[in-house]
A and B are shown apart, each in its own frame.
Chain A
Amino acid sequence: MTIMRKALHRRSFLRGVGAAVGLPFLDAMVPAMAIGQARAARAPLRMAFAYVPNGIIMNQWNPGYEGTLGELPRILKAMEPHRDDILVLGNLTHNTGRALLDGAGDHGRCSGSYLTGIQVKKTTVDIKAGVSCDQIVARRLAGQTRFPSLEVGLEDARQAGDCDSGYSCAYTNNLAWKSETQPLPPILDPRALFERLFGNGAALNPEARARQSDYRRSILDFVSEDTRKLEATLGPTDRRKLDEYLSSIREVEGQIERAEKTNAQIDPHMEKPYGVPADFAEHFKLMTAMITIAFQADLTRVVTFMMTREGTSRPYREIGISDGHHPCTHHQGKPDLIEKVTQINTYHATQMAGWVETLKSIREGDRRLLDNMMVVYGAGLSDGNRHLHEDLPTLLIGNAGGAIRTGRRVVYRKETPMCNLHLAMMERMGVHMEHFGDSTGQLSFADLT
């Protein structure tokens, strides 16, 4: 690490054997004469998509009003403390998720088209979608961060087989597509994600990994020398920031170790790789903590987060629901099933609200980390009972560095393509495209300001 520079390089790392820990945004990274003026400009903008499956009970999601957000419906209640930081968008549509003569398979289509805007090929073999908008941005930012993008999930990364009426599991289990035939499977295992973020690639051979594991040494132990050197050059504010940041990494490590220890207690009905927390909320918190660190350290600026795979029949025993999610969504108007789906939707949104709280709590120059982000939280179906692809539940969280005036419910015209939002977000990320998927033009951010 070079710490003799007048300004610390944004992409500095704390290095050690088999480890490379990126740094958060520090005052020391801003040249002395530019503090204040350049801080905001230097903070990078990040984009993330957090996806929930099987649609939403929309009358418990959509506020019954437009304009400034006030009281939020039941599912979004946990977002109320963050209402100044969100937009609740209405009427966005994914036409390419609809049947369009391909028959059954709305789940396979809606997730396959969610970020690609493409009518995916109905097949279990020769899959074909399109390059997803996150990957278009990742390609453009390649070289500016350690990872062009991160793909994270909490359930089922199978890539083969029939997951919905002739649609490959590649469609239901991935959001990100690097090419029209190459999806990027999400990382489900916290340990795998941790090692990806902080490992030094090939340098961490099996022996080193085993030694690290055997002695339960923190990754921070491996970079302690670099840490000490850096701390000696920092002012008190930066030292506090660095300490908080490294503490969050140590906390994540601890959570991973606890999950690995308690692996034997995992519900036998749940298929999970070793080390994945049995509890959904714990798993969510762990993975989002690492995503947060990745953003903080500018390891990546693009993340897709598939909370559970589209069409999942995962039960939520954590909240007392032993029925599968998907069967419940075909509620046929039965109040008890609608209630269960509402509880699952609320549970997801509550976890999301917790993550937003974290993103708000982290300072980045004069702003909060969340202020330099655009996070879409939503689903590829609105009404999961009827498999509707219009008025998709969509939250836009964060103000994109001040470009978007949040805190409002904005309802667009019916049939407005979801790809118009993608196009506008890509533009904010520095990628100008005339069209994407089935877009009819950029979703006007003027409408949002």
Chain B
Amino acid sequence: MQFQQVKPSVGIVFDSDLGNGVDAALALALLYGLEGKGEARLISNSTSMSSLKSAAFADVLAKFYAGPPPAAGAFAGFERPLPPIGMPGDGDLSGDTAVLKAVLEKTTPEGMPAYSHGINRLNDTADPVALIRNAMTAQYDENCMVVLAGPAINLVKVMDLPGGLELIRRKVKLLALAAGSYPDGRTDPRVKADVAAAKRLLSEWPTPIVAAGTEVGDGLPFPGSSIQKDFAWAPAHPIVDAYCAFRNMPYDAPAQVVAAVLYAVRPDGYFKLSAPGKISVLEDGRTRFTPSADGPHKYLVIDPAQKERVIQTYAELASAKPVPRQNPRFRNNQKKNGAPPPPEPVNQK
């Protein structure tokens, strides 16, 4: 039974190898921009890297964009704390990259960390499988989009939960897959990292899949010029630091994940879609697309007419200032009768 009267904006499950490159970070920035406009809700954010630093980077972005949770002891009504960050717990946890270093080791002139986060040990993170499953259970049917930008192992484990496939089928409208090259092409490290999981995902995932291939990432890069000017409103910005650390500036960053997120939230008007078909994974990590009329997969195709607009949208949304979390309904209730407001669904900001 679904008791809410107003269907909220689409919920996004975001599972990525955050920190490996910069496009997943840019995609998260874009997603927070869409959240600020009320077009989407980031309901679950997990890293597929067994790296506390990757999870810490995700937490930096969450705190930067969504603001700190209420101070302990302060009245927050039924406001929820920020959802935890999911991370696999079975690796060595020590993964590090130049991007992660740049963000997490940056300090203020006083020697303090420039960006705060709350992840220092494994149990500061969430089991990604439970996190993703739990987030899905709180969504209206088919009001959830999953964006995968890394090895598929977390999603495969969600599929393997009792009732997992049925839950996904019911709640998820689409999987936006930022991996592979289409209709064929070079090996994508995100697929190669776990070929077996990618094969299972593409053969058993129970909803339509739309893939954003490397060719879309390369053909519609994130403009480096935006980094230098549009983010200047913040004296220190984790996206700027990450971007500058990934490659020597100036450069335009491949934006495969950014395309996947934009499509998941705004499916119309930015990209063309391939004919339906089936994506398969080769042992060396390359992908192949085979057209078939009843195939469950498609891939994004760059629309030359929209190229400039897409890149402009990337820059505009990713550089948007954070919007304070608020819920006017609750505040009005408090003002009226001083009573605690009604609760809202979990993980909803």
Residues of A participating in the B interface, judged by any CB pair closer than 8 Å: 59, 90-91, 93, 95, 98-104, 106, 119, 121-122, 330-334, 338, 385-389, 411-417, 434-435, 438, 440
Q: Which of A91, A98, A122, A413 has the most CB of B within 10 A?
A: A413
Contact of A91 among B73, B123, B129, B340 (CB under 8 A): B123
Give, as a whole number of angstroms, the nearest-CB distance from B59 to chain A. Answer: 12
Q: How far is the CB of A311 from chain B (nearest CB, A)?
A: 13
Q: Which of B4, B72, B89, B345 contacts A413 (CB 8 A)?
A: B89
Question: Which chain A residue lies CB-closest to B143?
Answer: A101
Question: With contacts A414-B125, A435-B162 known, is A386 near B137, CB below 8 A?
Answer: no
Q: With A100-B137, A122-B1, A440-B161 given, is the CB distance from A387 to B130 under 8 Å? A: no
Residues of A within 8 A of B94 (CB): none
The answer to whether A385 and B126 have CB atoms under 8 Å apart is no
B1 & A102 in contact (Cβ 8 Å cutoff): yes
Instruction: List B residues at the A interface (Cβ < 8 Å).
Output: 1-4, 72-81, 84, 86, 89, 122-127, 129-131, 133-134, 137-140, 161-162, 340, 342-346
Given contact pairs A98-B346, A99-B138, A386-B80, A413 touches B122 in the complex (Cβ within 8 A)? yes
Contact status B138-A417, CB under 8 Å: no
Bound CA span A334–B73, Å: 8
Residues of chain A within 8 A of B124, CB atoms compared? 414
Could you tell me if B346 and A99 are in contact, using CB atoms closer than 8 angstroms? yes
Select A103's contact among B4, B73, B86, B340, beta carbons within 8 Å.
Answer: B4
Give the shortest distance, in Å, between A64 (CB) and chain B (any CB): 12
Say whether B138 contacts A415, CB under 8 Å. Answer: no
A417 to B344, CA, bound (A): 21
Give which listed residue, B74, B81, B134, contacts A95 with CB less than 8 A. Answer: B134
Residue of A93, A385, A415, A416 near B75 (CB, 8 A) is A385
Residues in chain A near residue B4, CB distance under 8 A: 101, 103
Bound Cα distance A88, B80 (Å):
24
Instruction: Tell me how far the C-beta of A109 lies from the nearest C-beta in chain B, rounded to whole angstroms.
Output: 10
A388: chain B residues within 8 A (beta carbon): 80-81
Q: What residues on B are CB-neighbors of A415 within 8 Å? A: 84, 86, 126-127, 130-131, 134
Q: Which residue of A lies closest to B158 (CB)?
A: A440
For the complex, give the distance between the alpha carbons of A93 and B78 in Å. Answer: 17
- Measured in the bound complex, the distance between the Cα atoms of B199 and A308 in whole Å is 52
A150 to B30 CA separation, bound complex (whole angstroms) = 55
In the assembled complex, the CB of A119 is this many whole angstroms from the nearest CB of chain B, namely 8
- Inter-chain contact B130/A59, CB cutoff 8 Å: no
Interface centre among B74, B89, B342 (most CB of A within 10 A): B342
Q: Looking at the complex, which one of B78, B84, B137, B140 makes contact with A387 (CB distance below 8 Å)?
A: B78
- Once A and B bind, how many residue pairs between them come within 8 Å at the CB atom? 102
- Residue on A nearest B124 in the bound complex, by CB: A414
Residue of B79, B130, B140, B340 near A101 (CB, 8 A) is B140
* Chain A, Cβ-Cβ closest to B129: A440
Residues of A within 8 A of B130 (CB): 93, 95, 415-417, 440
> By the criterion CB–CB under 8 Å, are B342 and A332 in contact?
no
By a CB distance below 8 angstroms, the chain B residues around A332 are 75, 340
Q: Are A106 and B123 in contact (CB under 8 A)?
A: no
What is the CA–CA distance of A440 and B162 in the complex, to the nearest angstrom? 8
10 closest A-B pairs by beta carbon, nearest first, are A103-B3, A333-B75, A414-B126, A414-B84, A332-B75, A98-B346, A415-B130, A415-B126, A95-B134, A101-B2
6 pairs from A and B in contact (CB 8 Å cutoff): A59-B72, A98-B134, A101-B345, A338-B73, A387-B78, A440-B133
A90-B123, A338-B73, A440-B130 known; A101+B343 contact, CB < 8 A: no
Chain A residue nearest to B2 in the complex (CB) = A101
Instruction: Report the separation of the CA atoms of residues A232 and B342 in the bound assembly, to the nearest whole angstrom.
Output: 66
Instruction: Give chain A nearest CB distance to B214 CB in angstroms.
Output: 33
Contact A386 B76 (CB under 8 A): yes
Query: In the complex, A9→B86 CA distance in Å?
Result: 53
Q: Shortest Cβ distance from A200 into chain B, in angstroms? A: 44
A100 to B76, CA, bound (A): 20
Q: A91-B123, A413-B127, A440-B133 are in contact. List 7 more A-B contacts (CB 8 A).
A: A90-B123, A93-B130, A101-B4, A103-B3, A103-B343, A333-B73, A386-B78
Chain B min CB distance to A46 (Å): 28
Which chain B positions have C-beta within 8 A of A101?
A: 1-4, 138-140, 345
B123 and A414: CB pair below 8 A? yes
| Minimum Cβ distance to chain A for residue B331 (Å) | 14
> Among the listed B3, B123, B133, B343, which residue makes an inter-chain contact with A122, where contact means beta carbons less than 8 Å apart?
B3
Chief secondary structure at chain A's binding surface:
loop
A413 to B: closest C-beta gap in Å: 5
- A153 CB to nearest B CB, Å: 26
A106 contact set on B, CB distance < 8 A: 343
Closest to A165 in B: B342
> Measured between C-beta atoms, what is the minimum distance from B70 to chain A in Å?
9
- Name the residue of chain A whose CB is nearest to the CB of B344: A99
Q: In the complex, A440 Cα to B130 Cα: how many Å?
A: 7
CA distance A411 to B84 in the complex (A): 15
Chain A residues lying within 8 Å of B131, measured Cβ to Cβ, are 414-415
The CA-CA distance from A91 to B127 in the complex, in Å, is: 11
Is A100 within 8 A of B138, CB to CB? yes
A434 to B137, CA, bound (A): 21
**Of B80, B81, B123, the contact of A411 (CB 8 Å cutoff):** B123
Q: Nearest B residue to A122 by beta-carbon distance?
A: B1
The residues of A that contact B162 with a CB separation of less than 8 Å are: 434-435
Across the interface, which residues of B come within 8 angstroms of A389, CB to CB? 346
State whether A98 and B125 are in contact (beta carbons under 8 Å apart), knowing that A59-B72, A385-B75, A389-B346 are contacts in the complex. Answer: no
Contacts of B342 in A (CB 8 A): 103-104
Alpha-carbon distance A102/B346, docked complex (angstroms): 11
A126, chain B: closest CB distance, angstroms: 12
| Residue of A whose beta carbon sits closest to that of B1 | A122
Kindly report which residue of chain B lies nearest to residue A333, judged by CB atoms: B75
State in angstroms the CA–CA spacing of A103 and B123 once bound together: 30
Q: Is the CB of A387 within 8 A of B3?
A: no
Query: A388 to B76, alpha carbons, bound, how many Å?
Result: 12
Chain B residues near A119 (CB-CB < 8 A): 137
Whether the Cβ atoms of B127 and A440 lie closer than 8 Å is yes
Which residues of A lie under 8 Å from residue B140 when comparing CB positions? 101
**Chain B residues in 8 Å Cβ range of A331:** 75
Residue of A nearest to B340 (CB): A330
**Which of B76, B138, B139 is close to A98, meaning CB atoms less than 8 Å apart?**
B138
CB distance from A28 to the nearest CB of B (A): 47
Chain A min CB distance to B126 (Å): 4
B78 contacts across to A, CB distance below 8 A: 386-387
Bound form: Cα–Cα A100–B139 in Å: 7
B127: chain A residues within 8 A (beta carbon): 413-416, 440
The complex places the Cα of A320 from the Cα of B200 at a distance, in Å, of: 62
Q: Which residues of A contact B3 (CB under 8 A)?
A: 101-103, 122
The winner among A100, A119, A338, A414 for most chain B CB atoms within 10 A is A414
B133 and A99: CB pair below 8 A?
no
**B157, chain A: closest CB distance, angstroms:** 8
Q: How far is A333 from B84 in the complex, measured between Cα atoms in Å?
A: 23
Residue of B nearest to A57 (CB): B73
Give the CA-CA distance A131 to B138 in the complex, in Å.
23
Whole-angstrom distance from the CB of A88 to the nearest CB of chain B?
13
Residues of B within 8 A of A99 (CB): 138, 343-346
